[in-house]
Structure 1
């Protein structure tokens, strides 16, 4: 996207913690909220009407805020947290699973913007949204305005590229998953490392060692080298 993502704003625009006094999430920039809802409407994979938008410093903080908001104060037994794989490893840190009496299920989207550490949640229940906002207020007193405005600009370009066939498609995947179709003992991360390809094992994301996650954020020349090394991998056959 190059310099299309450049933004300009005055320093005195960011002196206050408040961004939008009319929003339940009072530190959410209106430009970001507008572009979040626009992108979900363009892509069509989430309902935004009658939902509150909660912004956080990455999806990990939003997950903690959701746990805070959804955990009942009168629950004596631990509650298990359930999410389909793959999920980010840090979601499980600090959470103990001990004979749970109740369960929480989280369905996650991959639109979280890792580079500028912005994530958001669409929350239907007003009280849950209020508690999540309170968690953000206590932990970080909101979210960086600069990061929000950068994210708004990126989302704007992505939505524009989806709507205009003449524009370069900016809707790019940040990660790809590779699966080694060997036996259960296959270690995809180890195999690729032997061929100078850096990846993270699926075990870090709730899967198994046969899968691996690789970043797609590299430059074109790096990606071409990756393809060359990937195609050079040959399995031994007939014991040779």
Structure 2
């Protein structure tokens, strides 16, 4: 029986495709008492959270904690000059932003759907989000590096920084008056990258899943400068899901409050320090194996930068390893090879607008899964 179980464990496919942030589970098991939440049966029954707010389904307590966490970390301008729009994850907010930008006054008469572009390797969810609804308002336009904008036709550019999949710190590629930018800052938190400045863009997307690990809450927020854009984003969420769960908002507020209290009140909930230590240890092991075996190449990241939050020099520690196969075998589709030969499920480069010589590996799974990954990666030469 024991030998059979060991064989099953050896052959079990480990899924490193999705970026499911279960690595944070151990932290919250030990430090999550301050995020405990009790909801009575009579609470949160109305559709409405705040009828006077532009985003009428946003709970005031959640709004307070969103602005507070950004003030503490210093990663984005989130004062009262910014409108907060919440959605069921940042994926819904990306769609809401595309809708809002594509329905701005004065766009009537433009020819065809508005192109949506992003610099390759781009997040694999962008093409699907742009084309899934087969909208007449917008469509996927491909790699921003090779896109030729029409002189009179606006376009939307998604800028993910730090980038998913490769961790680069991105800036807009297309800089002209017809370019609308959506800044996806899901990973702009101190556990992944130095916080060098407070981002101050027209539309900025964040999600609690990559901040605290609570992907199951399905909550994201956008910081939006323009009130009319924010209203159209709210309308998109309203028509799609009639708002966002109040129960999830209460839980997310409790989670963010616990994190903020850990830094402002000297509590034990030092989430970002836990995250940095974990990511540093994992990257050290990945680099050791890659260097020793020579089968894969890794992207070179910028040198350490001063992090205003940590108040020290800090390295870049992306949530994903972006590996390029450089071994001696004739392998064109490295993701298929890893799954077939080594029981590692990952996402191939073609999904990100590049070749399948590349593969994205999530470093955010539970420790046991990560350990199995390192063991299997070590067997590839």
* TM, length-normalised to structure 1: 0.83
Q: Among residues 94, 109, 129, which one is paired with 2:185 in the alignment?
A: 109
1:88 deviation in Å?
A: 4.0
Report Cα offsets for 1:156-208 as digits up to 9, x if no partner.
33444556787354244794223125289753323432222221223323444
**CA separation of 1:24/1:93 partners in 2, compared to 1, >3 Å: closer, same or farther?**
same
1:192 and 2:323 are equivalent in the alignment: no
Task: Judge which range, 101-110 or 91-100, deviates more.
Answer: 91-100
1:214 and 2:257 are equivalent in the alignment: no
2: distance between equivalents of 1:14 and 1:226?
A: 42
1:141 and 2:242 are equivalent in the alignment: yes
Moved segments of 4+, more than 6 Å: none
1:82 and 2:120 are equivalent in the alignment: no
Q: What runs of 5+ residues in structure 2 fail to find an aligned partner?
A: 1-27, 133-137, 142-148, 158-181, 187-205, 210-214, 280-317
Corresponding pairs, count: 234
Secondary structure, counterpart of 1:18 in structure 2: coil
* TM, length-normalised to structure 2: 0.55
Q: Do the aligned partners of 1:83 and 1:107 also contact (CA within 8 Å) in 2?
A: no
Relative CO higher for 1 or 2, CA cutoff 8 Å, sep ≥ 6?
A: 2
Q: Do the aligned partners of 1:175 and 1:213 also contact (CA within 8 Å) in 2?
A: no
2: distance between equivalents of 1:205 and 1:166?
A: 40
Aligned CA RMSD, in angstroms, stands at 2.9
Secondary structure, counterpart of 1:131 in structure 2: helix
2: distance between equivalents of 1:107 and 1:233?
A: 37
Q: Among residues 131, 150, 165, which one is paired with 1:93 in the alignment?
A: 131
Task: Judge which range, 204-213 or 139-148, deviates more.
Answer: 204-213
